[in-house]
Amino acid sequence: MDRNIFTNYKLQREELLARIAQELELDQSRKNKMESAYKAVYELLKKESNFFKDLEILIYPQGSAKIGTTVKPINGEDFDLDTVLHIYDPYYNHSPKAIYDALIKVLENDSYYKTIMEKKKRCVRLNYKSDFHIDILPACMKNINDYEKIAIPEKALNNWSFGNPKGFANRFLNNANSVSKSVLKLFSDTLTKASIESEPIPNAIYEKTPLQRAVQLVKRYRDIYYQNKDFRVSSIVITTIISESYNSEDSIYSTISNTIGKIKNDYTISVASKTKFKIFNPVDDSEEFTDSWTDKHYESFNSFINHFYKNWLLLEESFEVSGERYIELFGESIYKKSLQSQLKTFSGNSTNDLIKSSGIIISGNGRTDKSGKINKTKGVKNENYHSYGG
């Protein structure tokens, strides 16, 4: 495999897309904080001496945190972590209100949680100062001996609904791992074997599968697209349609091109044949994610997919043609930051003076020698400054 990403646009694009998606993730210290936070709630519930005393329970993340498709919220909003408080006891042994109230009671009796707790319709939100919140959804078993399906308090706590977040996550991860070896894994192996002298390769960038990265990137565009629009397409819909259209593609680019192309095509066919375009929960086909969609929702979905796909196809072309599409799809600052880190990491291996010099000045290690050549050792130290005029 060609290791020089600056002479291979497809490889550079793929690596850049992974960097952009990685930039969208929460940093590890934030992830650790969140994990400690829900584990602390679990410990508190385990110590409780009434309702939870003889019950087997577990708190675990569901949704994007579980399947590795988290995306930092846009405009500095709080990140929300969805968790399930799974009570391993069949729902018919309890009332919806009883399990909800039991959770509330434990938190209200604690001087700390009392101050950060917020009651929601069917879950409890804990608002932490470190710009994140955790939603805890209390749930029982749907069937005895079934440790996946859950029964959730619904409708003013008078009823139950059913879900299967673990099953959904397992199905998604099975799809994601169906690729034999991704382009970036292969690239990463090549770099490791060649022991290339460069900035350390941050392996985390290459660990995720093309499907996970694809979901992150489409969600990012969703967040940008819907900043001033209503009828936002939900994360569960984006995740489901991409995952269910995925065919073990080995790159992020082909994953998005093929899945979004297929979805766009399916939508067009359903409109032409005057049948309703429906999206079902892949682990429970009695649940239709589109059942509450109005015409406005459909118009919004169609418009979002079309805008995304039109921009995306232009990434087929070189940066000279597609550069502004990256900015439109993911935002300028994240595109710029990802390009800077890519140049810092790989410019040292390039034989091209422009690329080499770019990496040096972006890293802030530049000196300028008498002839005007940028280097790391000789000449006047390049100072830190800001371009401003224009």
Q: Tell me which residues touch other proteins (CB under 8 A).
A: 319-320, 323-324, 326-327, 332, 335-336, 339-340, 343, 352-354, 357-358, 361-362, 366-368, 370-374, 379-390
Provide the terminal-to-terminal Cα distance of the chain, rounded to the nearest Å.
Answer: 42
For other proteins, the closer CB: 156 or 354: 354
Query: Min. distance of Cβ 359 from other proteins in angstroms?
Result: 10
Output 303 or 382, the one with its CB closest to other proteins: 382
Q: Which is nearer to other proteins, 21 or 374 (CB)?
A: 374
Q: Minimal distance in Å, beta carbon 8 to other proteins?
A: 14
- Please count the CA atoms within 13 angstroms of the CA of 361 that sit on its side-chain side: 15
Shortest reach from residue 213's CB to other proteins, in Å? 20
Residue 80 β-bridge partners: 133
Helix pair 252-272, 9-24: axis angle to 10 deg: 80
Structure-token match 């118009």, residue found: 299
Pair type for strands 132-141 and 150-154: antiparallel
What is the rounded distance in angstroms from the CA atom of residue 330 to the CA atom of residue 332?
A: 7
**Closer to other proteins at the Cβ: 294 or 385?**
385
SS3 assignment, position 162: strand
Q: Are 278 and 239 in contact (CB under 8 A)?
A: no
For tokens 């005895």, the residue is 144
| 310 vs 373, beta carbon nearer other proteins | 373
Q: 9 or 42: whose CB is closer to other proteins?
A: 9
85 forms bridges with which residues in the sheet? 59, 138
Which of 136, 168, 130, 133 is CA-nearest to residue 149?
Answer: 168
Q: How far is the CB of 371 from other proteins (least distance, A)?
A: 6
Minimal distance in Å, beta carbon 343 to other proteins?
7
Count of residues making up the chain: 390
Question: Judged by CB, which is closer to other proteins: 75, or 384?
Answer: 384
Q: Which is nearer to other proteins, 45 or 360 (CB)?
A: 360
Query: Cβ atoms within 10 A of the Cβ of 316, count?
Result: 14
What's the min distance (Å) between Cβ of 341 and other proteins? Answer: 11
Whole-number minimum distance, CB 156 to other proteins, in Å? 49
Per-residue HEC secondary structure of 175-216 comes to HHCCCCCCHHHHHHHHHHHHCCCCCCCCCHHHHCCHHHHHHH
Q: What are phi and psi of 98, to 5 degrees?
A: -60, -40
* Cβ 227 to other proteins shortest distance, Å: 19
